[in-house]
Amino acid sequence: MTDTRDPFAAVPRSRFNTPGTSRGLIDVVRWRYLLNLLVRTGVTTRYRNSVLGWTWSYVRPAAQFLVFWVVLGLFMKLDRGIPNYAVYLFSGIVIINLFSEAYKNATTSIVGNAALVRKVFLPRQLFAVSAVIVAFVHFLPQVGLLLLVCLIMGWAVNISIVSVLAVFAAMIIVMVFALGLGLLFGAINVRFRDAENIVELMLLLATWASPVLYAWTQVQDAVVDTLGWPQWILEVYMLNPITQGVELFHYAFWRPVTAEAFAIPPGLAWNTLWTLLIAIGTLLIGQLVFRRLEGRFAQDL
């Protein structure tokens, strides 16, 4: 006798309203084998069929550093009052490059993997998380080069546990912040491709909106002393997670090789905590928007 009962009769119809839903970033941990595969693919294919290969990880930041150092440091004298400006500049560029690559790649990760998103179900957050991890892998050679220069200049003599902790704190803050923004704009980018142009504009401003090419004291002199604006504007500027990441890298790499006394940003330790909370808040908002929109990814792509 044939059983004609509907096997899905007991399943609420609301379960079928939103296809391909997941439990968010929790599924990234559960699907870590696929995350590992995506990261390996992203790392190995980055310089495929390239003559220089991984050398480009050194060439690009080196070229960027030389342009800024020659034009801004030598020609425009923007290095006024900043000893060892080359180390100061390069330590800021390195952390900015981590943010830029992670943020941009996370934003385009869903559209770039449209074929997989349309055909199979898997946690879509995997693409953004893998993009940030791949950016971190490409960031490591730049840190190695920076560390080598600092060791030659006597960094090891003045190194401290606080400096090492500052490096890890900066990387965590910047990567969490980039992932949060990447999830937010990556979800919006599926429906509105204008998001990519907005991200490009934000990345263009990121280098100038943080003390990479200049000192934070110059911002204080211009905003508070010259323009007479209230002090809280400077405090908001210092609470930018990218600004905090740059200052932590300056504290870890530039200060140990600089003999001259230089003012530490006020509340550097507390700002580290606050910017970490801001980065986590950005991640939660990005995840919330991502989960609200991910049900239509396959249709919109």
Q: What is the pLDDT of residue 86?
A: 82
CB atoms within 10 A of CB 191: 14
pLDDT tier at 16, thresholds 50, 70, 90: very low
Average pLDDT of the residues in 227-243: 89
Asked if 137 contacts 39 with a C-beta cutoff of 8 angstroms, the reply is: yes
pLDDT at 3: 55
Residue 183 pLDDT greater than 90, yes or no: yes
What is the rounded average pLDDT of the residues 19-37?
73
Triad 43, 49, 51: Cα angle to 5°: 100
Helix locations, 45-84, DSSP H: 56-68
Q: What percent of the chain has pLDDT over 90?
A: 30
pLDDT per residue as tens digits for the range 77-100: 666 778 888 888 889 999 999 999
CB neighbours of 21 closer than 8 A, spacing ≥ 6? 291, 294, 295
pLDDT at residue 209 greater than cutoff 70: yes
What was the pLDDT predicted at 76? 67
The pairs formed by 263-268 with CB atoms below 8 angstroms and a separation of 24 or more are 263/217, 265/216, 265/238, 266/238, 267/238
For the stretch 111-159, pLDDT in tens is 888 887 777 777 888 889 999 999 999 899 888 888 888 888 777 677 7
Q: What is the pLDDT of residue 10?
A: 58
Q: Where are the domains of the chain?
A: 21-300
Residue 40 and residue 114: Cα distance in Å, rounded? Answer: 19
Mean pLDDT score of the chain = 82
